[in-house]
Amino acid sequence: MREWTREKRLRTRSENGTLALGELITELLLPPKLVVLRGPLGAGKTTLVRGIAQALGADTADVSSPTFTLVQEYQGRKTKLYHIDLYRLENEQELEGIGLWEMADQDNVLVLVEWGDRFESVMERADAEILIGPGEVDNERLLLVHWRE
């Protein structure tokens, strides 16, 4: 896997704080398109997607975890956002089936992938990754953003 050249550490103390980071992250991660969200169950990956969707101007009333639908699509003002959860995918064949590479090849698109680190092929093509982990106190989360310039 190619190495990341840039790193930014962020911290939030509430769900709303994580939502608010969406704005900053959309500015930070232009133009990367395929972004892997890493972190344990309940870390706040989907919450961050909601914040990013809001920052892009998408209607987020119903942004939920795509665990069962696998792929959800939102239209922002300029950018189309795909939210994908690979938690339940078993192998590369199933991965091919959801059309991830075709999504990431589009223009004006941002593809956010939860549990993308389960697949080496996804990590190889990722333009950035965001690690979300617990902080020292309840509701605190530490984010580590990696990308390349």
Ligand X SMILES: Nc1ncnc2c1ncn2[C@@H]1O[C@H](COP(=O)(O)OP(=O)(O)OP(=O)(O)O)[C@@H](O)[C@H]1O
| Residues forming the site for Mg ion (CB under 5 A) | 45-46, 65, 114
Distance between CA atoms of residues 95 and 89, nearest Å? 7
CA-nearest of 72, 55, 68 to 112 is 72
**Which residue, 95 or 132, is less far from Mg ion as judged by CB?**
132
User: Per the structure block, which two tokens stand in for 27?
Assistant: 């500015």
Q: Which is nearer to ligand X, 114 or 129 (CB)?
A: 114
141 is an interface residue for ligand X by CB under 6 A: yes
Contact between 46 and ligand X per CB under 6 A: yes
129 interacts with, out of ligand X, Mg ion, none, CB within 5 to 8 A per kind: none
Least gap, CB of 110 to Mg ion (angstroms): 16
What letter would DSSP give residue 96?
A: H
> Which segment (1-9, 37-45, 68-76, 96-104) binds ligand X by CB under 6 A?
37-45
Q: Does 15 bind ligand X (CB under 6 A)?
A: yes
- For residue 71 the two structure tokens come to 């792929």
Contacts of 12 (CB under 8 A, 6+ apart): 18, 20, 21, 44, 140, 141, 143
CB of 70 to Mg ion, least distance (A): 12
